[in-house]
Structure 1
Amino acid sequence: MSGLVTGDAVVLGLHPARLPSRALAVVIDLVVVWTAYLLVSVGLAVATAALDEAAVMAVSIATFLLVLVGGPIVVETLSHGRSLGKMACGLRVVRDDGGPIRFRHALVRGAMSVVEILLSFGVIACIASLVSERGRRVGDVFAGTLVVRERVPVQRGSLAVPPPPFWLVGRFRELDLSGVPDGLWLAIRQYLTRMGQLDAGVSWSMAHRLADDLVARTGAPAPHGVPPAAYLAAVLNERQARDARRAFAAARAQGGTAAPGGGHDAGAARASQARPSEGGSGAGPGATPVAPAPDPAPAAPIAPAEAGTTATPSGATGFAPPA
């Protein structure tokens, strides 16, 4: 992987293309370009049969430059670095900073390819690609470009935090995690997601260092005989479980405070509906007075715990309990 650094100090994980794949892409491009050149040359030879020798030579040179040199330049410019051969091999031409190429980059590459590939039969390009650390030919050096691989095998689940061993789940419920900074949590998460891609010795040393930092922050020693990576995974799982419990508790508390108010409003509405009937009973003369109906008993207040259970569906907070 190439460690390219952008202007924002961001390391790009680009995979430079090596000589075999680049050579195959060039061969495919040359077959297509030479086929087009021969077809155009035959057509122009028939069309210019009545011209003199100088005119025919001028047309031949113009055809050579336009088809064999100008054609690849136009294709790479319009496709942002993907010719037919590069598309077949999963390659792309990009700038040194990882951005798409423009016309000036394609022009320099195409002009240098006349010497590197056409006139020297690819010998100069092969030597330069073998010597370069990132497999660049002379045209790439002058243009400030790089040929990278687009189709890179992806490891499924490589960014998922591995679960801790079952015999460590819930073992750190009494551990004080308030003194652990967010930066250390982020470092632990990044290590756990990528420890399978590291060398065994490097992975072991990083796990030891992170475990020592975590022990220093919590003030409790790690259990004896527990591997550092398993210890980190178990503590991180405990932190996620605590966050989930706090989120569910906050959701239940919010649901519990809203429900009793609703019951009181409902009781007041029933009482207000009952009061107009009292006035209506004595409106006409000679009407028999009727005793006012007693107000209905207010609804019993709902307990906060019951309100949270009925009003707030599970998962409404967007958090999922730990596996």
Structure 2
Amino acid sequence: MSTPAPAVASAEVVHIHQDEVLTGEAVALDVQPVGFFLRGLGALIDLLLGVGVLLLFVAIIGWLASLGLVDDTLIPIVSIVLAVFVMVVLPTTVETATRGRSLGKLAVGARIVRADGGASGFRQAFIRALTGVLEIWLTLGGLAAVVGAFTPRSQRLGDLLAGTSSERTRTPALPDPGPGVPPSLARWAETADAAHLPAGLSRRMAQFVRQAESMMPSARQRVALSLAEEAAAHVSPVPQTDAETFVRAVVAVRREREARALALQSERVARLTRGLPD
């Protein structure tokens, strides 16, 4: 008699978009990477600051040498030590102490994070600084620009080796929440089915609600009637009210229900990451 084959658990494939990072708990975070030109501007600021520090030290050593306080045979050794300090030690120390931020990154609103979204540490900062000697200092940023232009998150070679990327820290403020369901349709909203609107129609309705106050009365009424006619085929039951009130009520119902669904999803993910039963 043949024995039944053991059951094989099916693996679910999770697709991660290029603007998402996967944490150690397998949670995809939606992040905003810094653009190519802002990264270049931040790197240029850091490079100019490094050159300024290097020139300051060179001027001090030259002044001490002119006074006879530094032996001429030591100048090459001191120059190498200064170069290593400015190119490797200083950026490593700054990024480690500030958790991925430098003056250039602060200026453009960015910070360096690990591939899982966590703050970068000494190892990542050291790899980036060591690689930066080649791709930033020796090539004046040319190698970093070429590599960054062909990576999804504008990562330079040091980022690829260290497993880091640049994340935006200044995000635009969220828009003000829209008005709720009109009071006259509050009871209708409790049982209304308005969850399956086409994406294009839903977007146009939300845009109308935001811009209705600035529209001409005739155009406002015409657009409201057109949107109400399209939405009526996807909403049940259709309330007895004017077109604009109907459109505003549908938009408010969808927004509130989507907000509740996102809150439940976030709570479920939080419970799973804490090891609690779902």
Q: Scaled by the length of structure 2, what TM-score is found?
A: 0.63
Please give the alpha-carbon distance, in whole angstroms, between the structure 2 residues aligned to 1:202 and 1:231: 9
1:223 is matched with which residue?
238
Unaligned 5+ runs, structure 2? 1-17, 205-230, 258-278
1:11 is matched with which residue?
28
Q: Does 1:95 align with 2:114?
A: yes
Q: 2:164 aligns with which of 145, 151, 154?
A: 145
Offset of 1:47 from its aligned partner?
3.0
Residue pair 2:189, 2:249 contacting (<8 A) in 1 also: no
Please give the alpha-carbon distance, in whole angstroms, between the structure 2 residues aligned to 1:234 and 1:123: 52
Amino acid at match of 1:85: G
1:200 is matched with which residue?
200
Amino acid at match of 1:200: G
Unaligned 5+ runs, structure 1? 205-210, 216-220, 239-323
Please give the alpha-carbon distance, in whole angstroms, between the structure 2 residues aligned to 1:235 and 1:43: 67
TM-superposition CA deviations, 1:142-178 (whole Å, max 9, x none): 0011111101101233xx46412455233367x5x9x
More contact order relative to length (CA 8 Å, sep ≥ 6) = 2
2:89 is matched with which residue?
70
- CA-based RMSD of the aligned residues comes to 3.6
Structure 1 residues 171, 147: closer, same or farther in 2, change over 3 A? closer
Q: Does 1:20 align with 2:37?
A: yes
Please give the alpha-carbon distance, in whole angstroms, between the structure 2 residues aligned to 1:235 and 1:51: 77
Q: 2:148 aligns with which of 121, 126, 129?
A: 129
Offset of 1:11 from its aligned partner?
2.1
1:295 is matched with which residue?
none
1:264 is matched with which residue?
none
The within-5 A match list for 1:1-323 is: 2-48=19-65, 49=68, 50-53=70-73, 55-157=74-176, 160=177, 162-171=179-188, 175=191, 200=200, 221-223=236-238, 230-231=249-250, 233-234=252-253
Residue pair 2:128, 2:162 contacting (<8 A) in 1 also: yes
Residue pair 1:222, 1:231 contacting (<8 A) in 2 also: no
Residue pair 1:169, 1:234 contacting (<8 A) in 2 also: no
Amino acid at match of 1:42: A
Structure 1 residues 234, 128: closer, same or farther in 2, change over 3 A? closer
Please give the alpha-carbon distance, in whole angstroms, between the structure 1 residues aligned to 2:54 and 2:178: 55
Please give the alpha-carbon distance, in whole angstroms, between the structure 1 residues aligned to 2:199 and 2:256: 24
TM-superposition CA deviations, 1:43-69 (whole Å, max 9, x none): 12333455243x221111111111232
Please give the alpha-carbon distance, in whole angstroms, between the structure 2 residues aligned to 1:236 and 1:127: 43
Q: Scaled by the length of structure 1, what TM-score is found?
A: 0.55
Please give the alpha-carbon distance, in whole angstroms, between the structure 1 residues aligned to 2:104 and 2:72: 38
Please give the alpha-carbon distance, in whole angstroms, between the structure 2 residues aligned to 1:85 and 1:235: 42
Residue pair 2:101, 2:110 contacting (<8 A) in 1 also: yes
Larger Rg: 1
Offset of 1:13 from its aligned partner?
2.1
